[in-house]
Amino acid sequence: MDQQRPVAAITGASSGIGVVFARRLAARGYDLLLIARRKERLDALGAELSRAHGAACQSLVADLASDADVAGVAERLRSEPRLALLVNNAGFGLHGRFFSTPVEDQERMHRVHVMATVKLTHAALREMVARDSGAIVNVASVAAYVRSSGSASYCATKSWMTVFTEALHLELKGLGSRVRVQALCPGYTHTEFHDAMGSDKTHVGASLWLNADTVVEASLRGLERGKLFVVPGFGYKLATAIVPKLPAGLRVWLELRNPQSKARV
Ligand SMILES: NC(=O)c1ccc[n+]([C@@H]2O[C@H](COP(=O)([O-])OP(=O)(O)OC[C@H]3O[C@@H](n4cnc5c(N)ncnc54)[C@H](OP(=O)(O)O)[C@@H]3O)[C@@H](O)[C@H]2O)c1
């Protein structure tokens, strides 16, 4: 293992946006900690990136809804002196109204999106701040800017990610630290996400879809420029600039008439 190469830790590296982050970062000379539950996928990706880019890759098999597994990953991050980037990307959606779905599923979402992000970010940041270098990308969503039927926990947890990231940014800037944080807020993106939650993708217009390469490219470009919020795609940029400024009454009125929101429940 080359002791000079930076290390990136990516959660949710077995699929979708996480895989693209892994490929892009390996091509840029990073060694990788690949984190998810599906070991065979992580091992296959690690082997591919080792062959293609000489990246040293370690699979960390973890269910990020489990306290014990998150503690294990956090310990690995704390012990990695070359850790230069953490991408908190693991996540999932649920189909159906909050009160019609098992509360355990809702809790699992909060654990993966919120508690794993808290603990892994804490583990990574302590060392990064001490070294005055490194970065954290929290993969939120444009859902952070809206509230919609069928996505109560999803919108709430993704919104939490953006608030958390902005507050960390303030702490770091206040210190004069060079450590950067970013909230990446993609819209609909072609990955396994919607299939995993069993949702009908046909109600989403073709023009709304992004591909994971575009999303990751925007994130990495944003990191180079020190951007706190990255919203890939012009339409989504416009929507996320306008929606938070609407009065709550108007927002609710519009959302109740949104066919996409109706299709989710
Ligand atoms: N696709 C979209 O339209 C979209 C839009 C906005 C934001 N996002 C966000 O983008 C992120 C990546 O999603 P994606 O679109 O790439 O979906 P994806 O293809 O379904 O990938 C999700 C990843 O999260 C991992 N994961 C899920 N639950 C986990 C758990 N309990 N423990 C560990 N890992 C877990 C999965 O790995 P294992 O199953 O192997 O554990 C997988 O690697 C998510 O946070 C999602 O909310 C997606």
In a domain, 164, yes or no: yes
Is the pLDDT reported for residue 151 higher than 70? yes
Q: Report whether residue 12 contacts ligand 1, using a CB cutoff of 6 Å.
A: yes
Per-residue DSSP letters for the chain? --TTS-EEEEETTTSHHHHHHHHHHHHTT-EEEEEES-HHHHHHHHHHHHHHH---EEEEE--TTSHHHHHHHHHHHHT-TTEEEEEE-------S-GGGS-HHHHHHHHIIIIIHHHHHHHHHHHHHHHHT--EEEEE--GGGG---TT-HHHHHHHHHHHHHHHHHHHHHHHHT---EEEEE---SEESSHHHHTT--GGGS-GGG-EEHHHHHHHHHHHHHTT-SEE--SHHHHHHHHHGGGS-HHHHHHHHHT-HHHHHT-
Is the pLDDT reported for residue 9 higher than 90? yes
Mean pLDDT of 27-50: 98
In a domain, 2, yes or no: no
Q: pLDDT class for 250, splitting at 50, 70, 90?
A: very high
Q: Which atom of ligand 1 is nearest to the CA of 111?
A: 31
Q: Which atom of ligand 1 is nearest to the CA of 38?
A: 40
Q: pLDDT class for 1, splitting at 50, 70, 90?
A: low
The pLDDT of residue 66 is 98
In a domain, 93, yes or no: yes
Question: Residue 179's domain spans which residues?
Answer: 7-263
CA of 189 to the centre of ligand 1 (A): 11
Nearest CA residue ID for atom 44, ligand 1: 91
Counting ligand 1 atoms within 8 A of each CB, the residue from 10, 11, 14 with the most, and so the one to mutate, is 14
* Catalytic residue (choose from 145, 154, 188, 236): 154
Q: Report whether residue 146 contacts ligand 1, using a CB cutoff of 6 Å.
A: no
Residue 154 bears catalytic tag: yes
d(C-alpha 29, C-alpha 242), whole Å: 38
Nearest CA residue ID for atom 2, ligand 1: 189
Nearest CA residue ID for atom 43, ligand 1: 12
CA of 196 to the centre of ligand 1 (A): 9
Q: Report whether residue 112 contacts ligand 1, using a CB cutoff of 6 Å.
A: yes
The pLDDT of residue 259 is 77
Is the pLDDT reported for residue 23 higher than 90? yes
Is the pLDDT reported for residue 92 higher than 90? yes
Q: Report whether residue 232 contacts ligand 1, using a CB cutoff of 6 Å.
A: no
The pLDDT of residue 54 is 98
pLDDT digits (tens, 9 = 90+) for 175-228: 999 999 999 999 999 999 999 988 887 778 888 999 999 999 999 999 999 999
In a domain, 1, yes or no: no
Please report, for the domain that includes residue 229, its CATH number. Answer: 3.40.50.720
Average pLDDT score over the chain: 95
Counting ligand 1 atoms within 8 A of each CB, the residue from 24, 33, 92 with the most, and so the one to mutate, is 92
The pLDDT of residue 201 is 78
The number of distinct structural domains making up the chain is: 1
In a domain, 16, yes or no: yes
Is the pLDDT reported for residue 3 higher than 90? no
